[in-house]
Chains A and B, each alone.
Chain A
Amino acid sequence: MQKPRTLAPGVQYFTGAQSKNRRILLERLRAVFEGWSYREVMLPVIDYAHSFHLALGPELEKRMYSFVDRDGSLLALRPDLTTLVAKVVAAQGKAEMPLRLWYDGEVFRYEDPKAGQQREFYQAGIELFGSSSVSAEIEVLLVMLEALDCAGLRNAIVPLGHAEFFAGIVEALSLSDEDRLTLKNLIDHKDSWGIGQMISAMDLSPAKEEFLQALPRLAGGREVLDRAERVVQNQKSRQALDRLATIHDELSSLGLERHFLIDLAEVRNLDYYTGLIFKVYSESLGFEIGGGGRYDSLAEKFGVSLPAVGFSVSLERLVAALSPAAPEESQCEQASNFEQARRMRKEHKRIRVEWPS
């Protein structure tokens, strides 16, 4: 039995300067999203567990807060917002494309607390549906960068990767599912040594061995793409490199080169992303603030085939990456009775009533 004041694990509350700061940040993000003509979509907190299972696969299922409805169906607190946006878009049918949407809200994941991760956290983001164009990806990156900048994060570092780059390599090597998973895991940890151990047991040409071992190091500036271009033969991976080059060059021509890196060893959530993948880091925080990418197969799971690209940031992590907000001095005028108070409020003054105790 908990004591009356015991807080449930993994949740937080915010008061005073903290809550005010969160509101201000959300307002700044919203203003940028609206400024690029993204429209708000307000989402349900509860949905069928099946929806999330469809969209996110079995892995996240273990981390969902799920419970049984009165009719016996399994419900869940939303562990993800993009899934719900895709579901809404699919349900609304034919809209004018491309469709630009933004959202924010609480997300719930039942997992052990780790770096910067509570069980309830707050996300904000955008989704751009209905375009396969590279311009859609560039737009999303630009909106994200401006939103973060307006929120006060001036030094965002965004490594860009591509889901098809790894897919092409796996196909070219015709790896088994098990080997594919092992390799993916090793690349995810940038574990060149582990890859060396793995491939010494396989029968590969020295050129391929060398290439695989170098894979985790294909991260850095624009030159990484040229380095990869020289050693990757398969069509799929090469197309991914071309796409990343186009994006990076366009961003550089806009004077944003210092924010964007290349990370071809970015292999997380490959079942979800189908093209561009990116993460957002800042020097002031040891873990990612947000991320996103292209997920062209998500809407299809809800019956409508629509390409899509988007990003989200965690509000808690954004707050942690920024220097603490200065508590605001709030000016107010005193009203000595309610009649006076109502009059002053009509003039939109900020007041405090001093009623007799």
Chain B
Amino acid sequence: MIIMALPKGRIFGACVEFLARCGIELPPDAASTRKLRLASGDHRYQFILVKPIDVPIYVEYGAADAGICGTDILREVLPDVHQPLDLQIGRCRMVLAGKADDHEPPSLRIATKYPRITEDFFRNQGKAVEVIPLSGSVELAPALGLAERVVDLVETGNTLRENGLIVLEEIMQCTARLIINRAGFHTKRSEIGGLLESMEKQLS
């Protein structure tokens, strides 16, 4: 049996739909249930539903054999896991955004859920900024004067617009990846091989 960690929230629906296309069925009430562990109909998979940022942790430690995880989180957490496939779902952009009348102030504060990505982005440009790590609702920060700009994910751009923010620069494109535990890749190789095969068939 393969234990697979799935991210609750934004891309969960897309994950379930993609898995179904690969012939891996979650229970029909997967999206609404309060259970955190679910089994596939054929009991070849057990799914654990966790916060997106925790998916790579479960997989790196081998508490889960596999997981589905956004590249935004992989880039932020830098887990030591295999990343064999891009699942072409959960597509969005990581951007730097600011107020519509943004002009670069002398000292820049950036609010974000992605402190590592943000810091690397500015350091690579040789710019010193103050990164303010938040765990949600970062779009509020400029309006309240907590920060001048934000680094966050955008799908449609609606949340930014509603908070009077515009995209200043794109940092990276994000999609969801399949990740695999390094030990499990070898110790459960026939099961993992089967999983990769069924997903590859769907992606090609």
Residues of A within 8 A of B (CB): 114-116, 157, 159, 189-194, 216-217, 219-220, 261, 263, 281-283, 285-288
- Given A216-B84, A286-B181, A157 and B186 touching (CB < 8 A)? yes
In the complex, B37 has a CB within 8 A of chain A: no
Bound Cα distance from A281 to B180, whole angstroms:
14
- A190 adjacent to B187 (CB under 8 Å): no
Residue of A nearest to B189 (CB): A220
- A191 adjacent to B182 (CB under 8 Å): no
- A282 adjacent to B187 (CB under 8 Å): yes
Residues of B within 8 A of A (CB): 60-63, 80-86, 177, 180-189, 193, 196
Bound Cα distance from A285 to B189, whole angstroms:
15
Bound Cα distance from A159 to B63, whole angstroms:
21
Bound Cα distance from A193 to B187, whole angstroms:
23
Bound Cα distance from A263 to B82, whole angstroms:
13
- A282 adjacent to B183 (CB under 8 Å): yes
- B82 adjacent to A283 (CB under 8 Å): no
Q: Which residues of A contact B182 (CB under 8 A)?
A: 281, 286-288
- Given A114-B80, A286-B60, A261 and B85 touching (CB < 8 A)? no
Bound Cα distance from A194 to B82, whole angstroms:
12
Bound Cα distance from A62 to B193, whole angstroms:
37
- A286 adjacent to B180 (CB under 8 Å): no
Residue contacts A-B, CB under 8 angstroms, 6 given: A115-B60, A157-B186, A189-B84, A282-B187, A286-B181, A287-B62
Output the residue of B60, B177, B187, B196 with the most chain A CB within 10 A. B187
Instruction: Beyond the given A286-B183, A287-B183, please list 19 additional residue pairs across the A-B interface where CB-CB is below 8 A.
Output: A114-B80, A189-B83, A190-B180, A190-B185, A191-B82, A191-B83, A191-B84, A192-B84, A193-B84, A194-B83, A219-B186, A261-B186, A263-B186, A281-B183, A282-B183, A286-B62, A287-B60, A287-B80, A288-B183
- B83 adjacent to A286 (CB under 8 Å): no
Q: Which residues of B contact A219 (CB under 8 A)?
A: 185-186, 189
Q: Which residues of A contact B62 (CB under 8 A)?
A: 115, 285-287
Bound Cα distance from A191 to B85, whole angstroms:
6
What distance in Å separates the Cβ of B200 from its nearest Cβ neighbour in chain A?
8
Say whether chain B's binding surface is mostly helix, strand, loop, or mixed. mixed
- A190 adjacent to B183 (CB under 8 Å): no
Q: Which residues of A contact B185 (CB under 8 A)?
A: 190, 219
What distance in Å separates the Cβ of B54 from its nearest Cβ neighbour in chain A?
14
Q: Which residues of B contact A193 (CB under 8 A)?
A: 84-86, 177
- Given A285-B62, A286-B60, A286-B61, A159 and B186 touching (CB < 8 A)? yes
Residue of A nearest to B65 (CB): A286
Bound Cα distance from A281 to B82, whole angstroms:
15
- B187 adjacent to A283 (CB under 8 Å): yes
Residue of A nearest to B88 (CB): A193
- A190 adjacent to B80 (CB under 8 Å): no
What distance in Å separates the Cβ of B19 from its nearest Cβ neighbour in chain A?
18
Q: Which 9 A-B pairs have the closest CB atoms?
A: A286-B62, A190-B82, A193-B86, A281-B183, A283-B187, A189-B83, A190-B84, A115-B61, A286-B61
What distance in Å separates the Cβ of A122 from its nearest Cβ neighbour in chain B?
20
- A281 adjacent to B84 (CB under 8 Å): no
Bound Cα distance from A190 to B193, whole angstroms:
12
- B80 adjacent to A157 (CB under 8 Å): no
What distance in Å separates the Cβ of B113 from its nearest Cβ neighbour in chain A?
19
Q: Which residues of B contact A217 (CB under 8 A)?
A: 196
Residue of B nearest to A321 (CB): B183
Bound Cα distance from A282 to B188, whole angstroms:
10
- A281 adjacent to B187 (CB under 8 Å): yes
Q: Which residues of A contact B86 (CB under 8 A)?
A: 193-194
Bound Cα distance from A86 to B61, whole angstroms:
33
Bound Cα distance from A159 to B189, whole angstroms:
11
Q: Which residues of A contact B193 (CB under 8 A)?
A: 220
- A286 adjacent to B186 (CB under 8 Å): no
What distance in Å separates the Cβ of B150 from its nearest Cβ neighbour in chain A?
26
